[in-house]
Copies of this chain bind each other. A is one copy, B any other.
Amino acid sequence: MAQFKRIAVVGAGLIGGSILLAAARKGLAGSLTCWSRSENSRATLRTFGVAEVFADAAECVRGADLVIVTTPVDTAEETFLAISPGLSPGAIVTDAGSVKVAIQLAARRLPAANPFVGAHPMAGGEKAGAAHAAATLFEGRVCFVTPTGSEDPKAVEAVRGFWQALGSVLHETDAAKHDEIVAAISHVPHAAASALMLAVMDQPGFRRFAVGAGLRDTTRIAAGEENLWVGIMLANARHTAAGLRDLERRTAELRTAVEANDAETLRRLLAEARVARQNLDRAE
C-alpha cells in the first residue's frame, strides 16, 4: 500500500521533478500533484504524465497528506505563505533546500496544525530545471533530515520514510550543524569554483583551445544557475564567508611559497592537500 494518500510537490525544478518521477515509479502515493510558477515548467511537468499540475500553490496542496517544498531557498517564506490556505490540518510539510536554519525560521509561517520537518537531499547539479529530472536522482545519495526535536515523532518518521523510499541515505542532524557541514562541502567549493573561473579569465594567457580536464573539472560547478546560488550563499552567509576567508589564506600561503621559491613549504602544502583529496575517495 502507498505510504501517502496524496503527495504535493511545490516548485518543480530538477529536485521537484525528480521527486515526482521517483515517487510515481515507487508508488509512494495514491495521487501526486505539483505546482510551478512558470508555464514552461508546468508544460514540462505535464509531459511526465505522473501528477496533476497546478498554477496555484494553495490548490496544489489541497487534500495532500505530504507536501514537499522545492522552491529556491530565498523564496521559502513566500512559498510557505502561499500554500498555507490550502493545507489540510495535519498535513506534513518537508522541503529540499540547501540551507536549513533559514528555512526552519521561514516554516514558522505555516499553520500550527502542520508539522514541518526540514530535509536536504544532496543531489543537485549544475543542470537545473525539471527537464533534467530523473527518477534515480536520489539513489544512494545522502539526504539530511533536520528535526528540531519538538515535532510530532510521527511527522519525523513520515518524512524519514519518504526520503528513504526515494533511495536516499539518511543523515539526521540539527539545522545549524547541517548548515555548517554543507558550507564546507558544497557552498564554499561552489564559490571557489566561481572565483577560480573568474581568476582564470583574468589571466592574459588564458586560451580556450588548450583547456583540459583539469580546469574543466575544477570549475564545473561554476556553471550552476546563479539565482539559486545567490539565495543559498546569502542564507548561509556566515559559514560560507568563513570558508572563503580560509581559501584566501590558503591560496596566499601557496602563492607566498611560490614567490619565495620555497620548495619545502610548497611541497608540504601540496602533499597535505593530496593526502586529504585521496582520503575523500576512501570509505568512511
Contacts and interface: CB of A to CB of B under 8 A. Distances in A.
A254 B250 contact: no
A198 B267 contact: no
B188 A199 contact: yes
B237 A258 contact: yes
Given A203-B246, A255-B245, A269-B198, A190 B214 contact: yes
Contact of A214 (B189, B204, B239, B273): B189
A272 interface: yes
Copies of this chain in the oligomer:
2
Contacts of A234: 258, 261, 263, 266
Interface in A106-157: 122-123, 125, 141-142, 144
A164 interface: no
Nearest to A141: B212
Contacts of A215: 185-186, 189, 280
A166 interface: no
Interface residues of A, number: 97
B216 A250 contact: no
Contact of A192 (B123, B204, B218): B218
A260 to B, nearest CB: 9
B218 A217 contact: yes
Contacts of A250: 195-196, 198-199, 202
Nearest to A192: B196
Q: Is the interface of A mostly helix, strand, loop or mixed?
A: helix
A97 interface: no
A259 B243 contact: no
Central interface residue in A125, A225, A274, by most chain B CB within 10 Å: A274
A221 B215 CA distance: 9
A29 interface: no
Central interface residue in A177, A203, A244, A277, by most chain B CB within 10 Å: A277
A233 interface: yes
Contacts of A270: 194, 222, 224, 226, 229-230
A246 B200 CA distance: 8
A266 B102 CA distance: 19
Given A214-B189, A266-B230, A261 B274 contact: no
Given A244-B251, A258-B234, A284-B208, A273 B197 contact: yes
Interface of A: 122-123, 125, 141-142, 144, 171, 177, 179-186, 188-227, 229-230, 233-234, 237, 239-255, 258-259, 261, 263, 266-267, 269-274, 276-281, 284
- Complex A-B, nearest 6 residue pairs according to Cβ-Cβ distance, in ascending order: A180-B205, A184-B203, A226-B270, A194-B273, A244-B255, A199-B247
Given A179-B205, A185-B211, A214-B221, 6 more contacts: A144-B210, A185-B210, A189-B219, A198-B269, A198-B276, A220-B277
